[in-house]
Amino acid sequence: MSERKVIIGLPVYNGQKHLAAAIESHLAQTFSDFDLVISDNGSTDATSEICTEYASKDKRITYLRSPENRGILWNHRRVLDAIKSPAQYFRWAGADDVMEPGLLQAMVTVLDSRPEVEAVVPDTKNIDDDGQIIGSMARTLDLQSQVVFERARQVLIVGYQHVIAYGLLRAATLRRMRTGPAYPGWDAIFVWELALRGPMVQAEGPCLLRRFHPGSISRVKTAKEFRKWVEPNARTGMNFPHWTWAYERARVLMACPLATRDRLRIAMFLARATAWQRGSLFRDVTQAARRALGLSDEYTF
């Protein structure tokens, strides 16, 4: 694989319905200096045939296949191995999402021209199964303040879709990050750590078209279904996602290179924000108890 400027990792599992559109949207980008690495998690539909055909036509496409489904988290980690240099840029891609033609160039331009920016967040529109626009993401992740407390506060108080992984990231930053695809909901902590490390830009212009459809993971409701998607080989047991996120946010805060005054100020606000989420923390506990008693398998994600 050549050392191109941008590495795009596309994890997929049984994505035949929208995969070709996702790949085509990359090949239609005005910025062409990228490698597209598709990691197939043991798909049982026509995903393999689609990927093989595209890889045979365009040398920028690398197709990797696992003989079994090892889950979304493993597949997201796997494509990181394609990074060859800290000077490269990286993004994950959804197998059912579409990029408008100028999006990659717009994001590259930001990172090229602004070395202080850690990541570019894609302007995002939501589409349905048929590609019709059904909404858009608010511009709440345009975190360009040089004051770290303001960026951290904004991440904790505003609502946003978890699209940061589909933006553009510096490989050098990814190597320093302690947050990655290691547990469900990791992207919420990922954006928190990025905000602590530096500014993020939500560039206006070409958009990511993020698809919401019946087969997407956002529609999964039970712990059993969630394990099948995320970590099919994991041991069955209790899970406390909101407790995990609270712990990981605190751990990231302690690990990031911050001035003592900033760290203390952010820690105080984080404690307040965690207290505001006590309802979700309580539901984690009660739902775990109900699951242990066989009364419910609802996931509190």
User: In this model, does residue 293 exceed pLDDT 70?
Assistant: yes
Which two structure tokens, joined as six digits, stand for 5? 């400027």
Q: Which whole number is the average pLDDT over 273-298?
A: 85
Least confident interval from 128-142, 176-190, 225-239: 225-239
pLDDT digits (tens, 9 = 90+) for 188-221: 999 999 999 999 999 889 999 999 977 666 666 6
Confidence of residue 289 (pLDDT cuts 50, 70, 90): confident
CATH no. for 6-218? 3.90.550.10
Percentage of the chain exceeding pLDDT 70: 91
Say what the pLDDT of residue 184 is. Answer: 87
User: In this model, does residue 133 exceed pLDDT 80?
Assistant: yes
Least confident interval from 154-158, 217-221, 273-277: 217-221
In the chain, list all ranges with CATH 3.90.550.10. Answer: 6-218
Which two structure tokens, joined as six digits, stand for 163? 């699209």
User: In this model, does residue 292 exceed pLDDT 80?
Assistant: no
Confidence of residue 127 (pLDDT cuts 50, 70, 90): very high
Distance (Å, rounded) from C-alpha 228 to C-alpha 233? Answer: 8
CA dihedral 224, 230, 233, 237 (to 10 degrees): -50
User: In this model, does residue 115 exceed pLDDT 60?
Assistant: yes
Q: Which whole number is the average pLDDT over 262-286?
A: 95
Say what the pLDDT of residue 70 is. Answer: 92
Say what the pLDDT of residue 236 is. Answer: 56
pLDDT digits (tens, 9 = 90+) for 66-94: 999 999 999 999 999 999 999 999 999 99
Say what the pLDDT of residue 220 is. Answer: 60
User: In this model, does residue 1 exceed pLDDT 60?
Assistant: no
Say what the pLDDT of residue 284 is. Answer: 86
Q: Are 256 and 297 in contact (CB under 8 A)?
A: no
Confidence of residue 40 (pLDDT cuts 50, 70, 90): very high
pLDDT digits (tens, 9 = 90+) for 220-247: 666 667 666 776 776 655 578 899 999 9
Q: Which whole number is the average pLDDT over 11-40?
A: 97
Distance (Å, rounded) from C-alpha 258 to C-alpha 217? Answer: 35
Say what the pLDDT of residue 239 is. Answer: 75
Question: Does 274 or 290 have the greater pLDDT score?
Answer: 274
Instruction: Kindly report the average pLDDT of the chain as a whole number.
Output: 92
Distance (Å, rounded) from C-alpha 287 to C-alpha 247? Answer: 19
Say what the pLDDT of residue 232 is. Answer: 75
Say what the pLDDT of residue 165 is. Answer: 95
User: In this model, does residue 2 exceed pLDDT 90?
Assistant: no
